[in-house]
A and B are shown apart, each in its own frame.
Chain A
Amino acid sequence: MIRLESVRKVFPGATAPAVTSLSLEIPEGEFVTLVGPSGCGKTTTLKMINRIIEPTSGTIEVGGQDVLSIEPHLLRRSIGYVIQQVGLLPHRTVEQNIATVPRLLGWPRDRIEARVAELVEMVGLEHEMRDRYPAELSGGQQQRVGVARALAADPPVLLMDEPFGAVDPIVREHLQMEFKDLWRRLGKTVVFVTHDIDEAVRMGTRVAILNIGGVLEQYDRPEEILANPASEFVARFLGEERGLRRLGLLPVSSATLERGPVVDVSAGPTEARAVMDRHEVDWVGLLDGNRLLGWVPASEIGSTPLRDLEPREFLVRLRPDDSLRRALDAVVTSRTRVGVVVGDEGYLGMLDVETVAEEITE
């Protein structure tokens, strides 16, 4: 657990404090994102936890220990640290970079080697990359090495300062998803600074929204923040797409799915037409048992048995763990105006705009 109590930071020569008086408790195993506009003191707050920046006053505890009572370099060896610029040593190989903290801790060589091998795999790097130099890696690969380096000595706490800010959006999304998975597996306490509210609500199990001068505006689960912003500032910071962002956090499985206009291929054309009439649509989905084959437009349903028709693919097949935001996108871009959901056991059902809207207003 990390506990900040009345933490204050005034930089020398500054007129206003960077952090006025911040109290924050981060329970063990939580993924807390610190988010706010520039000047809100989020990075300063993060860097005070491992004493890269020394607090002016207040108490910071990590795992019940006052950080100010521990030698800074010893403290930092027990806390993982990832920064946006990565900061890999350019004259050291990937392997040597990952081994930085274990080496500082004086681990025996074979233990370090085994740990590096494990980490390379964990962060999704190729083993051949161990002998490469940072300059020979892409930005995304470099940040994977940065994460591996931070995890090397298995610290209970990880501090991350906009770790995925410098990579392109596609790689960023990959890294975010992978890191969230990694976090689920490892159960670390993570403090993650970002200026991107989408990233904050997507990654965090709790989100701390900071205002200028380190004023804590709201600290809660992301769903709760999106549903009930505590202040005008939070509402404004969340922006206009609050509803959509909230959908981004809810899985498809949380919505009530309908069976929708589907028939089994063993049924006759008459039954298919009846289903279409009942749902007031001009297409029908075809099932073969549990398997969703696709859909056919009303115009193609004549006297031929359904089994002989060539069904069209649904452009997007949603999985139960996809977000409702993705589902909504599937609905509005599809010809059929529905999102079909398919799980491991086959067809689960479909949802339309109304189903999704219900989830927002709930």
Chain B
Amino acid sequence: MIDFLREVGAWFADPANWTGNRGLPGLLSAHVGLTLASLAVSAVLALPAAVYLGHKRRGGALVVSVVNIGRAVPTFGVMGVIFPLTLAFSATARPLGYWATFVAMVLLAMPPMFVNAYTGVRDVDPALVEAARGMGMTDRQVLTDVELPLALPLVMAGIRTAAVAVVATVTLSAWLGYGSLGTYVFVGFAQRDQVLVFVGGLAVAVLAVITELGLGGLERLVDPLRAIRRRRR
């Protein structure tokens, strides 16, 4: 056990592991880059539709299906199905495995983002919305001044859930040959290098925790009721 940890320490101490394509910084940035790209695209696809439907208080059935499909979609399966189709793209702009992982990650991130944003907007107290309309706010002002600020913490919670899931799952890209922190895990398994597997797993876990804590902090920061919650404490 001690020996093992010493080996892990030695791995981190080795300058060779800090440079190049297989170096920690390189794989980390590829990992984070793919995460951010797929989260951004999911947000663009999911949030406006969710906010619109929540504002109109319509589409409850759609949301239920989104959740169920989201739960049922096997990420591995998606990657396997998409991979052959993206070989043409991968040869050009992006490395092998990028697009298949990207699509799978977008599908993974959309349900929690959609559901949280939808619920957040829809569940704003109807009396509040009626009062706001009664004061003479336009439909758009009701959305921007009342519904969105109050829904923001929930919207952010959806983004956080999605981000943590994606940051952990991007690891699978290594299976299709795209370099991410998962590369350590896959290569480690192939080479029966326990230290490498451990380093990969540890890096992903740390990244996921940082994501969770960071976005959780941001969530509290955008809470429109923060001032009063703090004062009441």
Contacts and interface: CB of A to CB of B under 8 A. Distances in A.
Interface of A: 50, 52, 72-78, 81, 83, 85-91, 100-101, 104, 133, 135-136, 146, 149, 159
Q: How large is the interface on B (under 10, 10 to 19, 20 to 34, 35 or more residues)?
A: 20 to 34
Interface string B122-150: 00010110111111111001000110011
Contacts, number: 75
* SS of B interface (majority): helix
A146 B132 CA distance: 12
Given A104-B141, A135-B228, A83 B135 contact: no
B128 A87 contact: yes
Given A133-B228, A135-B228, A136-B228, A87 B136 contact: no
B33 interface: no
Contacts of B228: 90, 133, 135-136
24 contacts: A72-B133, A73-B138, A73-B141, A74-B136, A78-B136, A83-B127, A83-B134, A85-B125, A87-B125, A87-B130, A87-B131, A90-B150, A90-B225, A90-B228, A100-B132, A100-B135, A101-B136, A104-B136, A104-B141, A133-B228, A133-B231, A135-B228, A136-B232, A146-B131
B93 interface: no
Interface in B69-117: none
Nearest to B145: A89
B133 A77 contact: no
B227 interface: yes
Nearest to A75: B136
Interface of B: 125, 127-128, 130-138, 141, 145-146, 149-150, 224-225, 227-228, 231-232
Contacts of B133: 52, 72-73, 76
A104 B149 CA distance: 18
B127 A76 contact: no
Nearest to A87: B131
A159 B136 CA distance: 13
Contacts of B131: 81, 83, 85-88, 146
Given A86-B131, A90-B150, A91-B225, 4 more contacts: A73-B136, A76-B134, A104-B136, A136-B228
